[in-house]
């Protein structure tokens, strides 16, 4: 399996796991409020504010990445799409940390999204022949 497919597979598995874990975190105090992110229902790992919508989004993104990992061209396409989306979401987190009241994407999520984006995007620019020789 080539590097781009491995990276997409790992990110897909992580996002599915994060989406599932998000449904079992303890709600934060004060009726589900989290500072400047009123739509948060809990904190994943104590630092990432989440809610049900956020968990569903993680599950969908994870499933899309897992599907993408099934073939080289699909992996490249999904990594580019998800990488670009996470770059935009990371930047949006500065402007609207609660995504206009829908789900929390500010705080620690900004760094996570802005770190995920270049990893997913970067792996897609490895020459295919070189990528296949790596494994």
Rounded Cα distance, 47 and 106, in Å: 11
pTM, two decimals, is 0.84
pLDDT tens for each residue of 80-129: 999 999 999 999 999 999 999 899 999 999 999 999 999 999 999 988 88
Domain ranges of the chain: 3-134
pLDDT at residue 41 greater than cutoff 80: no
What DSSP letter does each residue of 10-56 carry, written as one string? HHHHHHHHHHHHHTTSPBPHHHH--TT-TT--EEETTTEEE-HHHHH
pLDDT at residue 61 greater than cutoff 90: yes
38 versus 94: the higher-pLDDT residue is 94
């Amino acid at each position: 399996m080539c590097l781009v497919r491995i990276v997409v597979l790992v990110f897909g598995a992580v996002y599915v796991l994060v989406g599932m874990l998000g449904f079992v975190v303890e709600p934060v105090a004060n009726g589900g409020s989290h500072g400047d992110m009123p739509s948060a229902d809990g904190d994943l790992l104590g630092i990432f504010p989440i809610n049900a919508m956020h968990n569903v989004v993680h599950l969908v993104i994870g499933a899309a990445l897992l599907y993408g990992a099934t073939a080289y061209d699909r992996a490249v396409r999904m990594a580019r799409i998800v990488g670009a989306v996470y770059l935009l979401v990371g930047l949006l987190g500065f402007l609207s940390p609660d995504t206009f009241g829908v789900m929390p994407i500010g705080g620690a999520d900004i760094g996570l999204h802005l770190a995920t984006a270049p990893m997913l995007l970067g792996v897609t620019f490895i020459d295919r022949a070189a990528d296949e020789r790596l494994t």
